[in-house]
Amino acid sequence: MITTGRIVRLAERDRADVHFLLDGERRSALAGDTVLTAMLAAGHALRSSEFGPELRAGFCLMGACQDCWVWQEEGSRLRACSTSVAEGMRLRTTPPESWP
Amino acid sequence: MSGTSSPRIVIVGAGPAGIRAAATLVAAGLHPVVIDEGHRAGGQIYRRPPDGFVRTPNQLYGSEAAKASALHALFDQLAREGRLTHCARSSVIAAHDGRLYVLGEGGVKVIGYDRLVLATGASDRVAPVPGWQSAGVYSLGAAQIALKAQGVALGRRIVLIGSGPLLTLVGAQLIKAGADVAAVLDTSSWRRQMRGFSGLAARPTVALRGLALRARLGARYHAGVALEQIEADASGVTAMRWRDAGGRQRLTPCDMVGIGWHLRAETHLADLTGCAFAYDEQWRQWLPKTDAMGRAGNGVYLAGDGARLLGADGAEIAGRLAAAACLADLGRSAPPIQADLRNLARLERFARGLARAFPWPAEMVRTLPDDAIVCRCENVAAGAVREGADFGGGEANRVKSLSRAGMGRCQGRYCQLAAVEIVAAQAGCASREVGRFRGQAPVRPAPVAAFLRED
């Protein structure tokens, strides 16, 4: 059972901090992180599957599998493996309440 | 396309093949447009980290550092001097009638072409293993990208499964970077691997380098394994269950599994531009048909792993050849090609040796349990694919519409070879007779807003 971040930083640790909100909680990442890296350094999944009980955490990291689309508070989605995390991003592992 | 107006040439992909094609065209006085999904040119194999990262090319690319640096420098110089147009972070999502529909940050724009060079590369060829839909299962390529472009391991305790050169390479790279690799499980037996030997002798240095990397895996490496189940709990992967070559059951606790059997050519755009395809029995996949230079007809040229899986060195050569073919067809003087053609033939002997040594696990896929997921996008299980074959017969696209395997967001990139294998087994025919999933636009998901902004 993973209780902290899924990923392990092995190199390039000397970068500026970037802050973002993950499911309403303030988290920090490093400048140059993708959204996928930032979210999985803070937690163990990106989203839940629409078609099964399991969580998803990305798969190909090269923009081909489309497993890592995540929600933002403002209602739009982004592909976490190919988007850089930015200061103040408000990310969600579940759809916003307004989503039908 | 007369001699008076300059022809519009578009290259899709800025990896080794796309960069060499661009440089060859620029050297002939043309100004190509290069469309690429990456932030910076280099492709996946020579992918560059974001600004502010400090590891050297040697640390990032090992024995291939000089090649990577040369390609990066060449492309950056051509872009800086304005001798090509670089559309970075842009995806070609559709192609029709000499026009490409390109999704970038400002929405979808249309780019017309007279000649098109497709250098779209490849992605991991994956086969389903029960439990592979769980969080913490990644392609081998993903593990490598995470390390190269982000400096991270995708788990605290890692098991790598599959077969092929990337299995050994990724394992060695992760260990060197300090990751905890618990096991590297190869479905190809030692005996099977020896069968590729005659082909591998075509590139003795590369073959020896592979053996040296393999040695670094030590006792973690197991050949001839059977993969049974990726165990998971609510948070994701917890263990890999497998049998060793002697048939003993083993359970290796882990929180990440990397999976892959060599590569699958990325062919969606070749399909949409009307290229003909042929089934390759050795690479066990459908590949676009071209001549030795990469000519596919209709003004389309293919280069690199998107056409033939020869790796980065082969992609550089194929990029030059495709550009030379394009120049010859435009009636312009083209660079000499004989040495490149000879070298490409040698690389192909090697690549076919690899295909024999590290085969696609056809039997494992054909005997997948009914409840195992085949299509990760929509969780379509093997049983549903078999029902589709019973109802619709042994034809790939009929089973696709009946079962929805291949209709999810990845558009069949990661399930279609397995789905076709299962359909063939169920219908009692060869994989090639089942056909292949047709490519459909858009080949990447595109938000409606991206189209509304146009005009």
Per-residue pLDDT of B273-322, as tens digits, reads 999 999 999 999 999 999 999 999 999 999 999 999 999 999 999 999 99
Residue B197 has pLDDT above 50, yes or no: yes
Its domain, for residue B209, covers 126-261
Query: In CATH, what number is assigned to the domain containing residue B379?
Result: 1.10.10.1100
Cα B398 from Cα B395, distance rounded (Å): 6
| Residue in B with minimal Cα distance to A33 | B150
Task: Mark whether B383 and B324 lie in a shared domain.
Answer: no
Cα B113 from Cα A14, distance rounded (Å): 44
**Residue of A55, A64, A84 with shortest CB distance to B236:** A55
B232 confidence band (pLDDT: 50, 70, 90): very high
Task: Mark whether B232 and B292 lie in a shared domain.
Answer: no
Task: Mark whether B251 and B233 lie in a shared domain.
Answer: yes
| pLDDT, position A3 | 54
Residue in this structure with the two tokens 């920090």, named with its chain if needed: A28
Residues 6+ apart with CB under 8 A from A54: A48, B133, B134, B135, B232, B236
Residues 6+ apart with CB under 8 A from B14: B22, B34, B36, B38, B41, B42, B43, B75, B86, B88, B119
> Does some domain include residue B28?
yes
Please give the C-alpha separations between residue B377 and each of A67, B8, B72, B100, B408, in angstroms, as whole numbers: 7, 37, 34, 26, 5
Residue B324 has pLDDT above 60, yes or no: yes
Per-residue pLDDT of B413-455, as tens digits, reads 999 999 999 999 999 999 999 999 999 999 999 988 888 854 5
| Residue in B with minimal Cα distance to A50 | B378
Per-residue pLDDT of B25-68, as tens digits, reads 999 999 999 999 999 999 999 999 998 999 999 999 999 999 99
| pLDDT, position B1 | 43
Please give, rounded to a whole number of angstroms, the shortest distance from the CA of B30 to a CA of chain A.
Answer: 30
Cα B32 from Cα B12, distance rounded (Å): 10
Residues pairing with B186 in the sheet: B162
Cα B242 from Cα B18, distance rounded (Å): 40
| Residue in A with minimal Cα distance to B148 | A11
Please give, rounded to a whole number of angstroms, the shortest distance from the CA of A50 to a CA of chain B.
Answer: 8
Residues 6+ apart with CB under 8 A from B277: B267, B270, B271, B286, B287, B288, B289, B436
Cα B24 from Cα B336, distance rounded (Å): 11
Q: How many domains does chain B have?
A: 3
Of the candidates B298, B321, B353, which is a domain's last residue? B353
CATH architecture of A17-92: Roll (3.10)
Task: Name the residue with higher pLDDT: B199 or B149.
Answer: B149
The residue among B206, B281, B233, B205 whose CA lies nearest residue B433 is: B281
Query: In CATH, what number is assigned to the domain containing residue B22?
Result: 3.50.50.60
The identity of residue B412, as a single letter, is G
Does residue B47 contact residue B37 with C-beta atoms inside 8 Å? no
Task: Mark whether B391 and B427 lie in a shared domain.
Answer: yes
Mutant choice from B154, B173, B267, B413 vs A, greatest count of A C-beta within 10 A: B154
Mean pLDDT to the nearest integer, B369-379: 97
> Does some domain include residue B225?
yes
Residue ranges of the domains in chain A?
A: 17-92
Residues 6+ apart with CB under 8 A from B66: B57
> Does some domain include residue B185?
yes
Global pTM value: 0.96
State the complex-level ipTM: 0.96
Mean pLDDT to the nearest integer, A24-31: 96
- Per-chain mean pLDDT for chain B: 95
> Does some domain include residue B318?
yes
> Does some domain include residue B208?
yes
> Does some domain include residue B165?
yes
